[in-house]
Amino acid sequence: MIQVDAQTMREVAPHFSGAMAERQNAIITAVGEVLATTLDGYAINTRLRIAHFLGQTCHESAGFRTTEEFASGEAYEGRRDLGNLQPGDGVRYKGRGLLQLTGRANYREVGELIGVKLEEQPERAAEPVLSLKIACEYWKRRNINALCDADDVVAVTRAVNGGTNGLDDRRLSTGRAKAAIARLEGFVLSGETPPSLGRPVLRRGSKGEAVGQLQRRLQQLGFMLAIDDDFGAGTEVAVAAFQRQRGLQPVDGIVGRDTWAALDAAASGG
């Protein structure tokens, strides 16, 4: 079982600030605690399957910052194909989950599968842990694992979305997930300590002493940026430029194990 967790999700997700960042952190923290075991229970347990799952759910949840669609749900009113037969069903059974569950009939069916009375308590579908299970049930019912095994991001997107809406962003998110999992697997194989338990993974929005150390190292290597313990746009650009110089992949502006190692090597003249 690949031990993906909240840190993995943070490496995939875009950065937000303020209330959006708070909501994202709450979702990622809750889901991260059960992510590996839940995915494994649905056979979403290979590098490709997990990467595609995280890439697609990241896009569908607007960067892991919501488990409920932004629209009111009124557009689903009277949709007999969704089982919305009673007045108010459109709003009551609006899209919820990391992959949005929509319509009374679907709430009833999925609720029975996961052992939660979602038809009677539809708002529970937005709870982070349940939203993960809902997404996994959808994944299983659509047999999306088989598409992941072929690494077919277009086919996976069609299975999730019904079309190719947001394909470019889904590609990028899936790519970030692949990189995050590769780094995680690298630590397991080498026996090294992951950055989350030793030197932290740093990315835009990170703050603190470790960021200041990073900025000093980059400044020593000739990059023009302020040392303010705040990983902002300037630091991200400098990191990406350094990664490009050293031939690191991906060039994502995120400081993980490989980038830390390259910084250490550069500082020692390597």
- Based on the domain organization, do 14 and 62 belong to the same domain? yes
Same domain, 118 and 90: yes
| Statement to judge: residues 227 and 254 lie in one domain | yes
Specify if 55 maps to a domain.
yes
Residue type, 259: T
For residues 121 and 151, membership in a common domain is answered with: no
Residue 187 has pLDDT above 70, yes or no: no
Q: Do both 51 and 84 map to the same domain?
A: no
What backbone phi and psi angles, to 5 degrees, belong to 101? Answer: -90, 130
Does any domain span residue 12? yes
What is the structure's pLDDT at 192? 46
Are 217 and 112 within one domain? no
- 28 and 146 in a common domain: yes
8 Å CB contact between 56 and 62: no
Q: Is 203 domain-assigned?
A: no
Query: Under 8 Å CB-to-CB from 38, ≥6 apart: which residues?
Result: 129, 132, 133, 136
The answer to the question of residue 40 being in a domain is yes
- Residue identified by tokens 């409920």 is 68
CATH number at residue 215: 1.10.101.10
* Residue 120 is assigned to a structural domain of this protein: yes
Do residues 113 and 238 share a domain?
A: no
pLDDT of residue 197: 40
Residue pLDDT, tens place only, 76-91: 999 999 999 999 999 9
* Distance of alpha carbon 95 from alpha carbon 149, whole angstroms: 28
Residue 249 lies in a domain: yes
Lowest mean pLDDT among 109-118, 190-199, 214-223: 190-199
pLDDT above 50: residue 4: yes
**pLDDT bucket at 249, cuts 50 / 70 / 90:** confident
Number of domains in the chain: 3
In this structure, the answer to whether residues 120 and 139 fall within a common structural domain is no
Give tens-digit pLDDT for 124-164.
Answer: 999 999 999 999 999 999 999 999 999 999 999 999 999 99
Tell whether pTM > 0.75. no
Residue 1 lies in a domain: no
Residues 57 and 27 in one domain: yes
Average pLDDT on 33-42 reads 95
In a domain, 108, yes or no: yes
pLDDT at 270: 62
Q: What is the pLDDT of residue 8?
A: 92
Do 62 and 138 reside in the same domain of the chain? yes
Q: Quick one: 110 and 232 in the same domain?
A: no
- Residue numbers of the domain that contains 249: 209-267
Nearest to 215 by CA among 204, 206, 227, 197: 227
Lowest model confidence (mean pLDDT) among 61-75, 199-213, 226-240: 199-213
